[in-house]
Amino acid sequence: MNAIDMTITSLLARYRAGELNPRGLIDTLLADADARGKDAAWITRLSREQLEPYLERLDSADPQSLPLYGIPFAIKDNIDLAQVPTTSGCPAYAYTPDKSAFVVRQLIEAGAIPLGKTNLDQFATGLVGERAPDIYGVPGNAFDGERIPGGSSSGSAVTTAQGQVSFALGTDTAGSGRVPACFNNLFGVKPTLGLLSTAGVVPACATLDTISLFALSADDANVVLSVAGQYDSDCAWSRRHDFAVAGQTYGEAPRRFCFGVPPKSQWHTDDAYTAGMHRTIADLESLGGIKVELDCTQLLAAARLLYEGPWVAERYHAVRELIENRPDALHPVTRQVIEGGGKPRAVDAFDARYKLAEYKRQADALLAQVDVMLAPTTVEHPTKAAVAAEPIAVNSRLGTWTNFMNLLDYSALAVPTGFTDAGLPFGVTLFGPAFDDLTLLSLGRALERRLALPRGATGVARAPLPVLPEARDGTLELVVCGAHLDGLLLNHQLTGRGAVKIATGRSSANYRLYALAGGPPARPAMVRDDTNGAAIAVEVWRLPIDTVGSFLAGIPAPLGLGQVELENGEWKCGFICAAGVLEQGGPATDVTRFGGWRGWLASQQ
């Protein structure tokens, strides 16, 4: 294990300062691999000769020009890398692709260097990391070789945690990118379905699969996600989403937020993980979070559909020819799980789909009550011996809080938040609706700053995090001062668009308030006056940004939206009056002395 700080942030800084170059780093990593010898975390490690084309390309590149210049990464061996066998953990299934998976190509074009293909639970079926054939072996956990590494992306998690690479690709259908992240002290990004193309990925359940990301920090995860998350017009499952256009950015978490937590009776965690949950709840509260306990019965019911329902038929479909003609080629436990997929009938699939639709309706209503949800990533960290004794039962318990995410189309992030008394990593999962990925990463970064845990299993301390601009979550905070106030005649134009009131306060003392002629309803005009202004009572409402256009279209002249200064010095979008209207003698009554619109309305009674 090398002692280099392998974060993307650190390596890029050293490259750009001329302190390091990609060839020197790769030579160090290869020497470290040779000293380690056979390593069950890898199925295929690239040789120096195989890595030369990637290094040669970087020889003439400017380190400033590529966001992943010279950054080494690993690829789970159910994701294609050109001219390198893809095995999916099964030698009888192996093939050698002519081109890399879409996501892998994006990363390489951004300057990243693939070091090889990592071990996994065969056909990505498992959360334990113990379901690989003997020819490959199974990795030990990065902190304790007698504990499971977590799966199915076991090798990707272990190699990242040990500092062999800066980040790694996994896949996540039922928790395969989050459980091993938890067990190895990593950030584990389970992106919104379709955000990362699955072209060039061996399917487990094609409708539920996503590539996942393992990273040593939230900033690193954000960089990789921004590079990898490009729309792929050739992938049937790819979904187009532009975070910037949607008003979403990564950055400093809000100072106040509501987070939902299932009641303790639903955690199903052992003593060590229960204690970890309590600590993390306290940490979120210290960051400004307001805990809201929410019954998660529907989420847990949806989770059970994944393996107890007909979705296992998708796994059967993916390996149908092999399991029907060469069943002995599969790992015994993998075969036992997938064989059940040949039994469901078409009517069973529709029955389950109808149940899922109802669960999602209820679950979406639950999530709408808070800004983010918190849950244990998993419920315990078993030993290898415990998994060997009960391979399916233990695996099932580990998926308690992971299996429902893709079924319900949620984004999720596994965040490391501490260690148990036994010295093993503990972490939680933050989750929310589709395309909340950057919101989750921003809050995960706030936890990272507060906790300052070592990076993975490398022992490298975390450097202080720089201050970033405030994150944006795809909403617009709108200052209202008149008929749109809570309970007044036009407030329905906000609530009907899903807006929520987040504050009641006043503007800075730089405004005058006028009642314009006409109506009903009567309309205000708030005009900036730095000389004779006063503070005006206002409310701040949070409006989904994709509804702002229709809201704006309904605002009559001379009113419009601009920037309004609040008494705390912040500027937010709010109602303003077109310049020159009052100066031109427009019919309006100065009502500033009433302190706000409600005060003036009361005077008219």
Q: What is the pLDDT of residues 302-314, one digit of tens each?
A: 999 999 889 999 9
Shared-domain flag, residues 571 and 487? yes
Domain that holds residue 186: 8-252+410-451
The residues pairing with 544 across neighbouring beta strands, listed in sequence order, are: 475
Neighbour order of strands in the sheet with 571-577: 500-506, 537-544, 475-480, 571-577, 559-565
Burial of 563 (0-12, 13-18, 19+ CB in 10 A): exposed
Q: Classify residue 270: in a domain, yes or no.
A: no
Shared-domain flag, residues 216 and 155? yes
Shared-domain flag, residues 141 and 246? yes
> What beta strand segments (E) does 294-393 contain?
372-376
Shared-domain flag, residues 57 and 162? yes
The pLDDT of 111-116, averaged and rounded, is 98
Q: Encode pLDDT of 78-112 as tens digits.
A: 999 999 999 999 999 999 999 999 999 999 999 99
Map residue 547 onto helix, strand or coil.
Answer: helix
Q: Is the pLDDT of residue 499 over 80?
A: yes
CATH of the domain at 506: 3.10.490.10
Shared-domain flag, residues 489 and 443? no
Q: Classify residue 272: in a domain, yes or no.
A: no
> What beta strand segments (E) does 294-409 contain?
372-376
Degrees to nearest 5, angle at CA 403 with 79 and 358 = 125
pLDDT band for 588, please (50, 70, 90 cuts).
confident
Q: Encode pLDDT of 192-221 as tens digits.
A: 999 999 999 999 999 999 999 999 999 999
Shared-domain flag, residues 127 and 35? yes
pLDDT band for 586, please (50, 70, 90 cuts).
low
- The angle that helices 102-109 and 218-228 make with each other, rounded to 10 degrees, is 110
Shared-domain flag, residues 176 and 116? yes
- pLDDT of res. 557: 84
- pLDDT of res. 519: 75
- Residues 456/167, Cβ–Cβ less than 8 Å: no
Those residues whose C-beta lies under 8 Å from the C-beta of residue 99, and which sit 6 or more positions away, are 80, 82, 105, 200
Which is more confident, 371 or 581?
371
Q: Is the pLDDT of residue 545 over 90?
A: yes
Q: Classify residue 52: in a domain, yes or no.
A: yes
pLDDT band for 583, please (50, 70, 90 cuts).
low
Shared-domain flag, residues 494 and 580? yes
Q: Classify residue 97: in a domain, yes or no.
A: yes
- Residues 23/61, Cβ–Cβ less than 8 Å: no
Q: Is the pLDDT of residue 488 over 80?
A: yes
Alpha-carbon distance 122 to 485, whole Å?
58
Shared-domain flag, residues 34 and 134? yes
Q: Classify residue 32: in a domain, yes or no.
A: yes
Q: Domain count of the chain?
A: 2
The pLDDT of 286-299, averaged and rounded, is 98
- pLDDT of res. 246: 96
- Residues 111/105, Cβ–Cβ less than 8 Å: no
The pLDDT of 387-400, averaged and rounded, is 97
- Residues 412/405, Cβ–Cβ less than 8 Å: yes
Alpha-carbon distance 328 to 330, whole Å?
5
Kindly report the average pLDDT of the chain as a whole number: 96
The residues pairing with 144 across neighbouring beta strands, listed in sequence order, are: none
- pLDDT of res. 517: 83
Q: Classify residue 345: in a domain, yes or no.
A: no
CATH of the domain at 188: 3.90.1300.10
- pLDDT of res. 1: 52
pLDDT band for 3, please (50, 70, 90 cuts).
confident
Q: Identify which of 372, 524, 352, 528 has the alpha carbon closest to the alpha carbon of residue 443.
A: 372
Q: Is the pLDDT of residue 605 over 90?
A: no
Q: Classify residue 377: in a domain, yes or no.
A: no
| DSSP code for 116 | E
DSSP string, 48-91: HHHHHHHHHHHHTS-TTT-TTTT-EEEEETTB-BTTB-B-TT-G
Shared-domain flag, residues 480 and 433? no
Q: Encode pLDDT of 334-369 as tens digits.
A: 999 999 999 999 999 999 999 999 999 999 999 999
Q: Classify residue 443: in a domain, yes or no.
A: yes
φ/ψ of 407, rounded to 5, equals: -60, -35
Domain boundary among 451, 484, 517: 451
Alpha-carbon distance 350 to 346, whole Å?
7
Q: State the catalytic residues.
A: 76, 152, 176
Could you tell me the pTM of the whole model?
A: 0.94
Shared-domain flag, residues 424 and 482? no
Shared-domain flag, residues 479 and 598? yes
The pLDDT of 489-513, averaged and rounded, is 96
- Residues 514/524, Cβ–Cβ less than 8 Å: yes
